[in-house]
Amino acid sequence: MSDRHVYEYALLRVVPRIERGECVNAGVLVYCRAKSFVAARTHLDEARLLALDPGADLPGVRSALRAVEGVCAGGAAAGQAAGDDAGRRFRWLIAPRSTVVQPGPVHTGLTADPAAEVERLLDLLVR
């Protein structure tokens, strides 16, 4: 069991019209402290989003999702967060926001491979 580590994850949701409360899952954030790992993977189902709001700003949503992936990746793509450790970047990304792209609640699990867990959760909860 020692080869498995606790990880935390949150869904990224697109809420095109806040007043309606409807959302489309569009990505997942995964953080594993033991591995100093943080990553985000996104997949935007544009047809689903447009079914909720035909006027949704698709380029803006895609840009916001890419920005989350960039913050997780670190380096120049992370901008101001580049110097922060993985945990701090994850905590910043899961902070509640009232924007179109929002993090969901944080959940936990066990994994031996956090990178594989990102893909598994994306397939299970988003695609």
pLDDT per residue as tens digits for the range 5-32: 999 999 999 999 988 889 999 999 999 9
Q: What is the mean pLDDT of residues 85-109?
A: 92
Whole-prediction pTM = 0.90
Residue 83: burial class (beta carbons within 10 Å; 0-12, 13-18, 19+): exposed
Task: Count up the domains in the chain and report the number.
Answer: 1
Using an 8 Å Cβ cutoff, are 34 and 6 in contact? yes
Residue 43 pLDDT greater than 70, yes or no: yes
pLDDT at residue 5 in the model = 97
**Residue range of the domain that includes 64:** 5-125
CA dist 94 → 3, 30, 87, 119 (Å): 26, 10, 11, 19
